[in-house]
Amino acid sequence: MKHSLWVLSLAAVLPFTASAQDASREAREIIEAVNARNDGAYVSRDATFELTDRRGITRVEKTTGYRKYFGDEKRTVIFYTEPSNVRGTGFLTWDYPDIDAEDDQWLYLPALGKVRRISASDRGDYFLGTDLTYEEIKKENKIEIDDYNFSLLGESEVDGAAVVEIEAIPVNETVARELGYSRIVLSIDPQIQMSRHSEYWDVNGNRLKTIHNGNIEQIDGIWTVTEVNVINHKTDHRTRLLFENIDYETEVPDRTFNRQMLERGLR
Amino acid sequence: MQSNKVFSRLIRWRWPTLILSLLLFGAMVANAPKLTRDTSSDAFIDSQDPALLNRERVEDIFGLSDPIVVAVVNEGEDGIYNTGSLNLVAWLTDQMMRIENIDPDQVTSLGTESSITGTASGMDVDDFFETLPINESDVERIRNGVDNFPLYQGALVARNGKATVVVGELIDPDLATETYQQIMSLLEEAPVSAGDVLHVTGEGAVAAYLSTYVDNDASRLNPLAAVVITIILLLAFRTLRGTLLPNLIVLMTAGGTIGTMAALGVSFYVITNGLIVCMIGIAVADSVHIFSQYYEEIRKDPMADGRTVTERAMSAMWKPVTLTTLTTMAGFIALAFTTTMPPIYYFGVFGAWSVALAWLFSMTTLPALLSMLKPKQSPSFRAAPAQEATPDNLSARLMDRFGSLVVNQPLAVLIIGIIIAVCASAGAMFVVANEERIDSFREVEPIHIADRTINRLMDGTYYLDVMIETDQAEGLFEPAVLRQIDQTQRYLETLPNVGGSTSIVDYIKRMHQAINEDDPAYYSIPDNKALIAQLFLLYSASGDPADFEEEIDGERRLALIRANVSVNRYQDNAVLVERVTEHLADAYPVAGASATITGDLNVDFHWINGIVRSNLLSIVLCLAAVFIMASLLFRSVVAGMFATIPVSMAVLFVYAVMGVSGIWLGVSTSMFASIAIGLGVDFSIHTLHSMQEKVSAVKGSWNERLVTLYASTGRAQLFNFLAIALGFSVLMTSTVPPLVRFGALVGVAVASAFLAAMTLLPAMALVFKPEFLQQPRVEEK
């Protein structure tokens, strides 16, 4: 009797296990597709950062920047253009594909007139006072696939587009601590292979933040987010990121990403 | 209408009376479950207090909160710079992040922070705990990192290296006590190494925990006070009814009052516990006097039935009981209208309300029930008729002898009274107005030890803040403003108990040095406005977006200077607040920037200052209320003065005991004098009323007439005094210092009011023979 019950319960569980595995494989495939999305060999663009604090006071910073792939290595430079007293302040980053190699970062303060090397930030650190982390800025709407276990939650709709909801749980606690998350739910639009909306929970499971890609358009044939809204639910701090003058066509010269150019700064 | 007619009618309708009074009680007490507890310390401050509003504004702008602080202390030679202590810090940091009510992103310790080092080519930002410290060189690296970063010294690690802290921000500050207790139990399993000692503190936790600490002990002791009072009643009357019925009146009064508070949405505060004890005392007093008279009537006429005896007892007692009710109410109402603290305001209002309820139930429920019971003599009252030489009862004999002594030497009694009053006044001169929250905990309490230890080793866990406000956005980029902020910090650091200070200037100077190869010459404020703006950007870009909120606002218009202070004591705060206020008035405005003093210490100083200042006024008004009420009731100003003298003595004694034993006049002790007046005035009024009766009713010399009051009213007063004094003395067994003081001082107050009423009033009557005592009783005209 006992034996037959055991068999029965096993029979009941098996189909679920199988379908859960399928769902997880399917989720992973969707993420792979997202990561395979073309984002251009190079791009130049202007970005506006609207940083709003708990009291509703907004600070606006404007930058102009470039990004280019050098093989698997990615180099980025941004210069502040506004407010005027920080105009010309620049950050140059070389991201190496090797996960163990520390990225290189340089800073240029025009009032000092010198380029300074600064040690790389941690992946979970916030990027230039925004509510996005270095990891999120660096990945540009892609996801490091080895960091998470994925599962399929279901289908939904964001801004009128059909999306697939995928839950991402860090593979272990070290990764969770590094990234600052215990759970992410991504709403991915399979049509454009991009997340339209994502929710984040901190390492203790408190609701942390929401990233909403408010405006997505095709520029030079490449799906591009032109407006990002982030709300940190714990601090009530908000970030609105607007991209303009996006250009994937005009080639960005290699020398844009060296220290001399950082020092020469904005022309 | 004559009083006996009122009561004969009431007794005729005793069932409806009883049912109505019980229904009224039921209607009130039904609300009791709605009662909310508010044990927060902010509840003591008027929510419209300018210093509080100012602090709240600053807290809002800079996103400040009271964190919980765990300190690792190692007083060995190398302090916390050993692998054991540092790994303990790592363990604690990790565990703190897992506590539900702690924001894992807002835990700060050596385990989460980085050191910034300027190098020839730039700036290195390295986590102190890049890897867990396993050998000497890791320890050295961490020590050098801290040594090179002035901002961490005294704040994150003790300047002498003997302690370091793990600081956690609470998600819900209202759960501070629970979080504190969670951390305390967490520490039991901490991997401590040789020499490591752990402590937990934090202003929010201390304040919240204090309230629960007091509250728990009071909730435990209040019922015990009721038990003690019951025992006194049993000893006094030696009958079941004389023991149980007063308890019923106490229950109805307390239940009715609590129910009314709940119905009106008033919270149960920490000090409302004091009101419970007062209610017990007040309700018992009315019952004791009515029962004494009841048994007196049975003794005089053992054959009379229950109705008649009750009617006679009530006719005799309704007036003094009503008089004491009105005077006590006057005292409580005066307390309500002179206090600056909401909990004490409600203490006064509901104190008065409970007195009224005790009166109502003593006038209705009690006689209705008594009249239903068959009169039975009390063993304590079995004696020859009153007029005969000496009663056989011990307490009555004692009071009678005491009375003879007083009435035979009235002048001597008065002179002794004056001498004692002069001595008490001298003692009262020593009273010091002071308050220190941590002092409310016993010295052996972990939270007390933690506060003392952490504040001895670190820069201080209490804050005095200065807010700098410039006239336009980015006003903080002005070098002159930053230099003045710097000077203000240097000034703050010269003040007593200030261990250190922080502001945006410290970060700007550190950044300036770091981008210049760590050359100490650059630990300064740049003259170049653009460079300052760029350093601000660098600083803001280096943390999470809400991190730097604690020093500057989003517009770069406001900045906060935070001074770490190691002591939060009223007298010390008074000096700090005065000197900082003076400095700010002299040094600002500068380049369009103004400065305001704020922070917890400033709030604490202002509200305690308000209490201290209003204390004298409160006492004078309470005494005046008693005086006016007694003058009106006895229709004589002289009677008003008579009534006021014993309570004035009680107040004087409370202060004398405080002065001599070094008890500070602070938040809780400030209301003791008013409670002394409220509870003590009963003794004056009963004595006066009884004297009036004896003088007009009894024949013989004034001496002969007055001495008779001792065996009757005097004995009732003795029981009343014993019940209240012993009831309150239960609080002295508490482990909570404020409750011990409360119990002791109210005991002193009641004892001195009782003694003064029983000695000074008859003595004064004999010496001055005032007219009001010779008037026939008013209501019987």
- What DSSP string describes B249-284? HHHHHHHHHHHHHHHTT--EETTHHHHHHHHHHHHH
Stated length of chain A = 267
Is the model's pLDDT at A154 over the cut of 60?
A: yes
Provide the domain limits for residue A183.
34-264
Chain A contact probe: residue of B121, B537, B540 with most A CBs at under 10 A:
B537
Q: Return residues 189-208 of A near B (CB < 8 Å).
A: 202-204, 206, 208
Q: Quick one: pLDDT at residue B385? A: 46
- What's the pLDDT tens digit per position in B216-235? 777 777 788 888 888 888 88
Measured at the CA of B146, the angle between CA B187 and CA B517, to 5 degrees, comes to: 155
Two structure tokens written together for B499: 């261990």
- What's the pLDDT tens digit per position in B494-514? 999 999 999 989 888 888 888
Q: What φ, ψ does residue B388 adopt, rounded to 5°?
A: -75, 155
For residue A234, the SS3 value is coil
Q: Report the candidate in B37, B118, B133 with the shortest Cα–Cα distance to residue B85.
A: B133
Report the CATH number of the B3-44+209-382+392-429+606-780 domain: 1.20.1640.10
B667's CB contacts (< 8 A; 6+ apart) are B44, B341, B435, B608, B611
* Whole-number Å distance between alpha carbons of A43 and A40: 7
Q: What φ, ψ does residue B120 adopt, rounded to 5°?
A: -60, -35
- What's the pLDDT tens digit per position in B147-157? 888 888 898 99
Q: Are B530 and B398 in contact (CB under 8 A)?
A: no
Domain coordinates of chain B in residue numbers? 3-44+209-382+392-429+606-780, 67-201, 459-598
Q: What φ, ψ does residue B376 adopt, rounded to 5°?
A: -135, 135
Q: Report the candidate in B453, B452, B457, B458 with the shortest Cα–Cα distance to residue B155.
A: B458
Chain A contact probe: residue of B58, B105, B128, B171 with most A CBs at under 10 A:
B105
Nearest CA in chain B to A111: B531
Cα of first residue to Cα of last residue in chain B, in angstroms, is: 11
Q: B541 vs A129: CB contact, 8 Å cut-off?
A: yes
Enter the pTM of the model.
0.80
User: Which residue(s) pair with A156 in the sheet?
Assistant: A163
Per the domain annotation, does A246 fall within a domain? yes
* Whole-number Å distance between alpha carbons of B687 and B642: 10
The whole-chain average pLDDT of chain B stands at 86
**Helical spans, DSSP H, in B592-671:** 600-634, 637-661
B324's CB contacts (< 8 A; 6+ apart) are B285, B286, B681, B682, B685, B686
3-state secondary structure string across B469-519:
EECCCCHHHCHHHHHHHHHHHHHHCCCCCEEEEECHHHHHHHHHHHCCCCC
The most confident of B34-43, B474-483, B543-552, by mean pLDDT: B474-483
User: What average pLDDT score do residues B418-432 get?
Assistant: 94
Q: Between residues B66 and A179, which one has the greater pLDDT?
A: A179
% of chain A with per-residue pLDDT over 90? 42
Measured at the CA of A85, the angle between CA A82 and CA A89, to 5 degrees, comes to: 70
Q: Quick one: pLDDT at residue B386? A: 46
User: What average pLDDT score do residues B336-343 get?
Assistant: 83
B543 contacts in chain A (CB < 8 Å): 126, 129
Cis peptide upstream of residue B589 (ω within 30 degrees of 0): yes
Per the domain annotation, does A216 fall within a domain? yes
Edge-to-edge strands, sheet with B163-170: B102-108, B163-170, B68-74, B196-201
Please state which of the ranges A19-28, B383-392, B493-502, B624-633 shows the lowest mean pLDDT: B383-392
Torsion of CA B138, B143, B144, B146, to 10 degrees: 130
Is the model's pLDDT at B481 over the cut of 80?
A: yes
Q: Quick one: pLDDT at residue A5? A: 46
ipTM of the complex: 0.82
A51 contacts in chain B (CB < 8 Å): 545, 554
Q: Between residues B164 and B400, which one has the greater pLDDT?
A: B164
Measured at the CA of B188, the angle between CA B182 and CA B191, to 5 degrees, comes to: 120
In what helix (H) or strand (E) does residue B425 lie, and over which residues does it extend?
helix B410-428
Q: A125 vs B63: CB contact, 8 Å cut-off?
A: no
B125 contacts in chain A (CB < 8 Å): 118-119, 121
Q: Quick one: pLDDT at residue B779? A: 42
Q: Are B540 and B508 in contact (CB under 8 A)?
A: no
* Whole-number Å distance between alpha carbons of A75 and A261: 13
Quote the DSSP letter at residue B542.
T
| Distances, alpha carbon B2 to alpha carbons B286, B289, B314, B433, in Å | 21, 21, 12, 51
Is the model's pLDDT at A1 over the cut of 70?
A: no
Picking from B515, B533, B549, the nearest residue to A53 by CB comes out as B549
Chain B contact probe: residue of A93, A116, A173, A202 with most B CBs at under 10 A:
A116
Q: Are B361 and B253 in contact (CB under 8 A)?
A: yes
Nearest CA in chain B to A173: B94
* Whole-number Å distance between alpha carbons of B588 and B481: 10
* Whole-number Å distance between alpha carbons of B636 and B338: 26
Picking from B100, B549, B554, the nearest residue to A204 by CB comes out as B100
* Whole-number Å distance between alpha carbons of B730 and B688: 30
For residue A244, the SS3 value is strand
Stated length of chain B = 781
Q: Quick one: pLDDT at residue A194? A: 92
Q: Quick one: pLDDT at residue B198? A: 94
Q: A55 vs B60: CB contact, 8 Å cut-off?
A: yes
* Whole-number Å distance between alpha carbons of A221 and A225: 13
Q: Report the candidate in A143, A120, A155 with the shortest Cα–Cα distance to residue A29.
A: A143
Q: Are B679 and B743 in contact (CB under 8 A)?
A: no
Give Cα A188 distance to the centre of its chain.
Answer: 14
User: What average pLDDT score do residues A232-241 get?
Assistant: 90
Burial class (CB in 10 A: 0-12, 13-18, 19+), A158: middle
Is the model's pLDDT at B592 over the cut of 70?
A: yes
Two structure tokens written together for B768: 């001055």
Q: Between residues A163 and B217, which one has the greater pLDDT?
A: A163
Per the domain annotation, does A226 fall within a domain? yes
* Whole-number Å distance between alpha carbons of B691 and B775: 11
Burial class (CB in 10 A: 0-12, 13-18, 19+), B60: exposed
Q: Quick one: pLDDT at residue B59? A: 81
Q: Quick one: pLDDT at residue B542? A: 65
- What's the pLDDT tens digit per position in A104-130? 888 898 888 888 888 777 788 888 888
Nearest CA in chain B to A119: B124
Q: Quick one: pLDDT at residue B161? A: 92
Q: Are B170 and B103 in contact (CB under 8 A)?
A: yes
Q: B541 vs A109: CB contact, 8 Å cut-off?
A: no
Rg (C-alpha) for chain B, rounded Å, is 33
* Whole-number Å distance between alpha carbons of B542 and B535: 10
Q: Report the candidate in B503, B457, B427, B276 with the shortest Cα–Cα distance to residue B748.
A: B427
Picking from A52, A86, A125, the nearest residue to B533 by CB comes out as A86
Chain A contact probe: residue of B469, B538, B550, B557 with most A CBs at under 10 A:
B538
pLDDT band at B618 (very low <50, low <70, confident <90, very high): confident
Is the model's pLDDT at B63 over the cut of 60?
A: yes
- β-pairing verdict for A222-232 and A207-219: antiparallel
Q: Are B585 and B96 in contact (CB under 8 A)?
A: no
Picking from B516, B535, B540, the nearest residue to A129 by CB comes out as B540
Q: Quick one: pLDDT at residue A10? A: 47
User: What average pLDDT score do residues B634-658 get?
Assistant: 93
B123 contacts in chain A (CB < 8 Å): 107, 116-119
Q: Are B216 and B441 in contact (CB under 8 A)?
A: no
User: Which residue(s) pair with B114 in the sheet?
Assistant: B127
CATH number at residue A57: 2.50.20.10
Is the model's pLDDT at A267 over the cut of 70?
A: no
Q: Quick one: pLDDT at residue B300? A: 86
Per the domain annotation, does A3 fall within a domain? no
Nearest CA in chain B to A131: B545
In what helix (H) or strand (E) does residue B71 lie, and over which residues does it extend?
strand B68-74
The answer to whether the Cα torsion of B603, B606, B608, B614 is positive or negative is negative
Q: Quick one: pLDDT at residue B382? A: 65
Nearest CA in chain B to A113: B531
Q: B545 vs A235: CB contact, 8 Å cut-off?
A: yes
pLDDT band at B165 (very low <50, low <70, confident <90, very high): very high
Is the model's pLDDT at B403 over the cut of 50?
A: yes
Provide the residue type at B155 as one letter. A
**Helical spans, DSSP H, in B698-736:** 702-709, 715-729
Chain B contact probe: residue of A84, A134, A235 with most B CBs at under 10 A:
A235
Q: A206 vs B104: CB contact, 8 Å cut-off?
A: yes
Q: Are B433 and B664 in contact (CB under 8 A)?
A: yes
Per the domain annotation, does A4 fall within a domain? no
Q: Quick one: pLDDT at residue B604? A: 86
Burial class (CB in 10 A: 0-12, 13-18, 19+), B630: buried
Q: Quick one: pLDDT at residue B658? A: 94
Within an 8 Å CB–CB cutoff, is residue A128 touching chain B? yes
Domain count, chain A: 1
The whole-chain average pLDDT of chain A stands at 86
Please state which of the ranges A83-87, A242-246, B495-499 shows the lowest mean pLDDT: A83-87
The whole-angstrom distance between B45's CA and the closest CA on chain A is 25
The whole-angstrom distance between A265's CA and the closest CA on chain B is 14
- β-pairing verdict for B593-598 and A161-170: unpaired
User: What average pLDDT score do residues B671-698 get?
Assistant: 86
Q: A85 vs B533: CB contact, 8 Å cut-off?
A: yes
Residue carrying structure tokens 């009690």: B366
Is the model's pLDDT at B166 over the cut of 90?
A: yes
User: What average pLDDT score do residues A237-251 get?
Assistant: 93
Is the model's pLDDT at A18 over the cut of 60?
A: no
pLDDT band at B383 (very low <50, low <70, confident <90, very high): low
- What's the pLDDT tens digit per position in B705-721? 888 888 888 888 898 89
Give Cα B261 distance to the centre of its chain.
Answer: 19
Please state which of the ranges A257-261, B244-248, B395-399, B657-661 shows the lowest mean pLDDT: B395-399
Q: Quick one: pLDDT at residue B655? A: 94
Per the domain annotation, does A100 fall within a domain? yes
Q: B534 vs A118: CB contact, 8 Å cut-off?
A: no
Q: Are B328 and B643 in contact (CB under 8 A)?
A: no
* Whole-number Å distance between alpha carbons of A177 and A172: 9
Is the model's pLDDT at A6 over the cut of 70?
A: no
Please state which of the ranges A5-9, B5-9, B223-227 shows the lowest mean pLDDT: A5-9
